[in-house]
């Protein structure tokens, strides 16, 4: 494990962005949800990431999410801004503005759709890291972006003084071990099913979707791993399995998390923005069936769960379309 000081936290929530029924950001709902996550044990909040529907947020919304997060956290948790852009110039501008808005760190996703070479990926990362003094997490998720960050690129990127960590959603544990052996980078598990396996080989923490529902069990797992108690960590991992399956298996994690949070009365609407749509009946049934197996998970009491398939149906078109500079 890296000996560097960790500026990000260990239990990081990949925050959903609560919307109103017509698809506008529910700002009071954002404040309440951030506070709920921190109170339950999160020490880091990633706003405007994939789970936060970054691709359908405007830049002003992204910057306000940083500001609101910073205000609500009030020093209790770090606020990391995610997403970025597949246009290097846009990403540089956005992260500079995020730093001024109060972000504690930035998470840079691999450029998507363009499919650059590894030289282009490395240049993208370096130029963004040059544009801000904030600590940087690289986000390796080839299933969404179309390209991985190769081992060689990760090692070369690690030489930059601002690039301190990787969020791994690639699932190549051999590569994670190799990077940890040969760099000072910190690793964060970016796949809810692999949190404990990542931690067991030296990862620093997690950036989780299921943590929107409850971050308490992840706090238990992290604290247990920190003190070398694998038995406790494994027991909590097993308890979490059906909840992780409910959130991460049947529909995109954002959709499922909002559906469940709304059914628990934790957010005012399960609405997502197009092209995401709420679960169809068969998908909602699969989520609800998975939840029936959740037992004794701290912060996840489904005895009063009241899902609303009608409220979740379809997707919203916001008044201000697109991500704009």
Among candidate residues 62, 70, 167, 258, the one labeled active-site is 167
Q: What are 161-213's pLDDT values in tens digits? A: 999 999 999 999 999 999 999 999 999 999 999 999 999 999 999 999 999 99
> Which comes out higher in pLDDT, residue 129 or 323?
129
% pLDDT > 70, the chain? 98
Section 230-240 average pLDDT: 98
Block residue for tokens 């029924």: 21
How much is the pLDDT for 320? 82
Q: Cα 7 vs. chain centroid, distance in angstroms?
A: 16
Q: Is 139 a catalytic residue?
A: yes
How much is the pLDDT for 84? 85
Q: Is 113 a catalytic residue?
A: no
Q: What are 77-93's pLDDT values in tens digits? A: 999 999 889 999 999 99
Instruction: Supply the pTM of this predicted model.
Output: 0.96
Among candidate residues 62, 70, 95, 139, the one labeled active-site is 139
> 98-129 in b/e burial notation, b at 16+ Cβ within 10 A?
bbebbbbbbbbbbbbeeebeeeebbebbbebb
Section 232-248 average pLDDT: 98
Section 57-79 average pLDDT: 97
Q: Give the separation between CA 189 and CA 204, rounded to whole angstroms.
A: 8
């Amino acid at each position: 494990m890296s000996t560097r000081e960790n500026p990000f936290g260990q239990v990081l929530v990949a925050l959903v962005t609560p919307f109103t029924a017509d698809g506008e950001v529910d700002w009071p709902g954002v404040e309440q949800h951030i506070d709920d996550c921190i109170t339950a044990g999160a020490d880091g909040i990633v706003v405007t990431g994939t789970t936060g529907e970054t691709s359908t947020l405007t830049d002003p919304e992204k910057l306000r999410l940083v500001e609101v997060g910073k205000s609500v956290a009030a020093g209790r948790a770090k606020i990391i801004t995610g997403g970025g852009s597949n246009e290097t110039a846009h990403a540089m501008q956005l992260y500079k503005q995020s730093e001024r808005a109060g972000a504690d760190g930035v998470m840079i996703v691999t450029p998507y759709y363009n499919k650059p070479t590894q030289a282009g990926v490395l240049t993208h990362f370096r130029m963004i890291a040059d544009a801000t003094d904030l600590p940087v997490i690289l986000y390796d998720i080839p299933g969404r972006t179309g390209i991985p960050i190769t081992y060689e690129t990760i090692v070369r990127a690690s030489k930059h003084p601002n690039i301190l960590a990787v969020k791994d959603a690639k699932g190549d544990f051999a590569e994670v071990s190799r990077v940890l052996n040969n760099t000072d980078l910190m690793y964060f598990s970016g796949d809810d099913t692999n949190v404990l396996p990542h931690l067991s080989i030296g990862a620093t923490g997690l950036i989780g979707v299921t943590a929107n529902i409850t971050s308490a069990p992840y706090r238990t797992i992290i604290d247990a791993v920190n003190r070398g108690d694998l038995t406790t960590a494994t027991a909590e991992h097993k308890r979490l399995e059906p909840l992780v399956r409910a959130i991460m298996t049947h529909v995109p994690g954002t959709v499922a998390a909002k559906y469940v949070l709304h059914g628990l009365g934790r957010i005012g609407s399960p609405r997502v923005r197009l092209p995401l749509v709420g679960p169809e009946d068969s998908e909602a049934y699969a989520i609800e069936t998975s939840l029936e197996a959740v037992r004794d998970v701290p912060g996840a009491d489904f005895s009063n769960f009241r899902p609303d398939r009608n409220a979740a149906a379809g997707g919203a078109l916001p008044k201000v379309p697109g991500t704009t500079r």
